[in-house]
């Protein structure tokens, strides 16, 4: 597989990296420094405006032949990703803002475009995508049909069946499921599909718990649930992740 990169805003990228399970193309880097070893991740973030590469890292010492982490760091390298520039025990934004020494505001830095480097060609599962594009991506994922559905509600007259997979939106702490509202047909002796719904759940709710559902797509349902507190443009740009139950994850190609 070839190395891939994807563009993000710098203020979001650290959370996205911690949510996803991307496979690096290179092993972690070990550099002797200050009597210890600086261990930096093979996956890194390139910020074009400032021509720097930003890594997660640990300062370690050797103990009985193995590396023992002491401090978690953010580490900055130059454009070529070879020359060390700076490190701090802070998150990505705070470390780079400190290194820049007032060249921009923290808010400006959060909105700065950047690229994730050092990952193998992406599969969609587990990777940060925007809410505005997720339904189109889901429609192309044939493997979702293999994930068993869950029954959210069932009564003698109706049943609501929801997808076993879901879309997680970290910024809102919400999960979205596709669902089908079914009516009981006495002649057929079973539940028959009536219309599609989107179901909104809080993170951590069980398959039978929910907070809202509506006969519409992801974005409209989400906007109506939030009662206009967040404009549609912002909702479309929120990062989200396609999640599946343990044991149902599609294999990497």
Give CA–CA dist 229/247, Å, rounded.
37
- The string of DSSP letters for 4-26 reads EEEEEEHHHHHHHHHH--PPBSS
List CB contacts of 99: < 8 A, sequence separation 6 or more. Answer: 76, 85, 86, 88
Handedness of CA 5, 15, 44, 24 (dihedral sign): negative
Q: What is the pLDDT of residues 102-120, one digit of tens each?
A: 899 999 998 898 888 887 5
pLDDT at 120: 59
Count of other CB atoms within 10 angstroms of residue 96: 26
pLDDT at 23: 66
pLDDT at 4: 45
pTM of the model: 0.56
Name the stretches of the chain with pLDDT < 70.
1-7, 19-23, 120-128, 246-253
Q: What is the pLDDT of residues 11-26, one digit of tens each?
A: 878 877 776 666 677 7
* Start-end of H helices in the chain: 10-19, 92-100, 106-110, 131-139, 218-225, 232-237
pLDDT at 127: 56
Give CA–CA dist 75/88, Å, rounded.
7
């Amino acid at each position: 597989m070839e190395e891939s990169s994807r563009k993000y805003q710098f203020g979001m990228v650290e959370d996205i990296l911690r949510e996803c399970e991307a496979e690096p193309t290179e092993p972690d880097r070990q550099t002797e420094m200050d009597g210890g070893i600086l261990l930096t991740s093979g996956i890194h973030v390139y910020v074009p405006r400032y021509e720097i590469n930003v890594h997660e890292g640990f300062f370690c010492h050797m103990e009985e032949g193995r590396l023992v982490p002491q401090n978690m760091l953010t580490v900055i390298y130059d454009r070529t990703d070879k020359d060390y520039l700076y490190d701090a025990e802070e998150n990505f934004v705070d470390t780079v803002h400190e290194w820049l020494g007032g060249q921009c505001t923290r808010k400006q830095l959060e909105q700065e475009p950047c690229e994730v480097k050092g990952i193998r060609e992406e599969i969609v599962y587990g990777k940060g995508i925007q809410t505005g594009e997720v339904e189109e991506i889901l429609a192309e994922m044939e493997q979702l049909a293999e994930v068993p559905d869950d029954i959210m509600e069932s009564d003698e007259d109706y049943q609501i069946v929801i997808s076993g997979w879901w879309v997680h939106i970290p910024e809102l702490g919400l999960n979205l499921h596709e669902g089908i509202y079914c009516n009981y047909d006495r002649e057929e002796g079973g539940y028959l599909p009536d219309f599609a719904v989107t179901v909104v759940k809080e993170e951590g709710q069980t398959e039978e718990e929910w907070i809202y559902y509506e006969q519409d797509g992801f974005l409209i349902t989400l906007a109506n649930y939030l009662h206009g507190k967040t404009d549609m443009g912002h909702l479309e740009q929120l990062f989200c992740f396609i999640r599946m139950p343990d044991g149902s994850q599609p294999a990497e190609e």
